Structure formats: C-alpha cells, structure tokens
Amino acid sequence: MRIAQNIRRLDAYVPGEQPRSARVVKLNTNENAYPPSPACAAVLKDFDLDRLRRYPDPNGLRLRQAIARLNRTTPDKVFIGNGSDEILSLAARCFVDDGGTIGSLDPSYSLYKTLAAIRGVAWKPSKNVSLFLWTNPNAPTGTLAPRDAIAAFARTFKGVVLVDEAYADFARANCMELATAAGNDNVIVMRTFSKSYSLAGLRVGYCVGPVELIDALYKAKDSYNVDAIAQAVALAAVRDQRWMKANVRRIVRTRTAFTRALETRGWDVLPSESNFVFAQPPAACGTAQEVFDYLRGRKIFVRYFPGPLTGARLRITIGTDAQMQTLLDALDARGTRRR
C-alpha cells in the first residue's frame, strides 16, 4: 500500500466552515470580530519585497525576544510556530515515544485526537499518558481550571503537560508562571495570535517552557516554519498590547451581555472565560442541531459538535454587539419564549 496505515484509517479533522460570502454572521471558529492593530497594517504596507527574496530568520529571534519580554522570561524559553496547531503537532512528535499515549480533557479541542492518530499513537481522555494537553480555558466549554490544579497535576506527572492557552487573554487567570518558574521541568504553556490578537490568517503561535523541551521543538521543526511576513506582523501585534487588550475588553463585555440575554431566553450557558459560549437551548427552542440548522439557514454560522458530551449545546463565538443582536433577533423570530 502506498499510504501509511494510520493515515488510511484517519478521520481527518474538520475545521469550522469558512463560508465564501462576506454577508454572513460568522460565529463558528472563534475568530476575533475586531481588526488587528493598525501597526500590523503599517508593517504590511511598508514591507520590503527584497526580504521575500531571502529566507526568514529560522528561529524568529526578534519575535521571541518580544514574547519573552512580555512574559517576563528569556528568549531561549520561547518557541514560535506556524500557528499553535504546528506546536501541537511538534509536541506529539517530540514528547511521545512510539507506543506512547496522548491525553486531554474530554470534551476538548478535537484536533488532539487527529494529531495522535497522525503520529500513530493512542489518544485517551485520561491523565495516565505520555503527553497531556490541558486546554485552559477549555474548548468548547469555555470554562477555566484553577492554576493550582494544573500545578498539582504537573508535580506528580511523569510526562510533559502542555497547557493550551489559546483563549487565556479572555480569562481572569492563566498558567504562564508555571512555564517560566525555575524548577518546573515539564510544563509548557502555549498561546496563539489567532484569537486575542485578531490574526488567525497569519498563522503564528508560541509556547514557553523549560529550555530542554523548547530545544527539542526547535530540533524537530521545519527549518523556516514561520515566514518573514508572519514574524514581522506578529512582532508589531505583540508590541501593541493596548490594542489587543482593548479588543479583549470589548469582547468580554459583549460576552457578559450576550450570556445574560441567552439566559433570559431560557438557555443554559456555561460560565465562559473565553471568546465563545457553550450554551444549551431550552426545549421550547428545539434541539441544538435544530437551532444550528435554523441559524445556518439565516446565514448565521455557529458551531455544533454532535456526540453525547457536546451534542446538547452550541458553541457560539462572541462577535460584535451588532452580530450578537442579529443572532438574538433570529432566535426571537423563531418564537423562543422568554422566562
């Protein structure tokens, strides 16, 4: 056979739909509704084409320095990747031996199972594994685990704990200090530019951790995994913390108001520390699948994950106030009863 067995058997990861039309309300992939910093636009506008003739800095030193400063650590503890998805894929290669196991919360980011299958190892919703991917805040639930719980687990865990903090900028707390503290030798904390920095299309993520683990990732990566434009634009974004934080504040404010609006309509909404909510419609509204289909018919895209743990709820990205109002109006037009 020409195709490796694990790939032949693989159920490929299905990303959220990317409709071609701009005339939709797109609340299905946790993108940021607000634009990236104007400093990013300035970098693109002035980008010297001659820099594309040459290869980029293979280790992205300037960006690593800026990320290190932001997180009060040193550049040798920072790895940058082509989106945090690349870092997850590298972690599966670097921190799991053949015959090992990758674990995560369940439900969680569904890509993890696919990455394990590509790597040819098992995935288990268990902590008795080689590499544990702890999504915090979790997805699709949006809920936050206390830092102490993660620290306590890491202390006794023999393998690597990668805390996937894709949504941490929208949360009240995070685990970065577990990755930067001296003496912690098995915790990596991962972040992305795709959510809070509004740069999902750029494909830049990073992680912070002990030098030994970070070096392993550098050994295994493609030579030029983050392109020159991505490095320059991400650097501009990191330097404009005020812009990112202002967008985060707006989204958190909208999240609070939208949660309340759903609750007054009888929905059950999990307490979210991210830029989405995971919410169950009341029986009067129909099943999650029915509401999903109805909204899709109105060009409002949210995410539905079938299955026993997730199928009763919808994951709804927090967009602008106007987008959330469009969604609420659509629900009301369907005749949801208010409590």
Q: In 3-state terms, what secondary structure has residue 192?
A: strand
Smallest separation, CB 112 to ligand PLP (Å): 9
Q: How far apart are CA 220 and CA 86, in angstroms?
A: 11
**Strands 101-104, 131-135: parallel, antiparallel or unpaired by DSSP?**
parallel
DSSP type of residue 195: S
Q: Report the residue from 36, 83, 107, 159 that binds ligand PLP according to the rule CB under 6 A.
A: 83
- Shortest Cβ 79–ligand PLP spacing (Å): 13
Query: What is the CA 251 to chain-centroid distance, rounded?
Result: 16
Stretch that binds ligand PLP, among 41-49, 82-90, 217-225, 243-251 (CB under 6 A): 82-90
Residues in 6-65 at the binding interface with ligand PLP, rule: CB under 6 A: 30
Q: To which residue do tokens 């912070």 refer?
A: 208
Q: What DSSP character marks residue 320?
A: -
C-beta of 31: minimal distance to ligand PLP in Å? 9
Site string for ligand PLP, 126-155 (x = CB under 6 A): ---------x---x----------------
Residues 56/231, Cβ–Cβ less than 8 Å? yes
Q: Which is nearer to ligand PLP, 114 or 135 (CB)?
A: 135
- List C-alpha distances in Å: 169 to 63, 114, 273: 19, 26, 9
192 touches ligand PLP by CB under 6 A: yes
Site membership for ligand PLP, residue 230 (CB under 6 A): no
The Cα–Cα gap between 314 and 305 comes to 7
Strand duo 276-280 + 25-26: pairing: unpaired
Would you count residue 109 as binding ligand PLP (CB under 6 A)? yes
Q: How far is the CB of 155 from ligand PLP (least distance, A)?
A: 24
* Distance of closest approach, residue 324 Cβ to ligand PLP, in angstroms: 19
User: What letter does residue 56 receive in the DSSP assignment?
Assistant: P
Asked if 73 interacts with ligand PLP (CB under 6 A), we say: no
Q: List residues binding ligand PLP (CB under 6 A).
A: 30, 83-85, 109, 135, 139, 164, 166, 192, 194, 200, 205
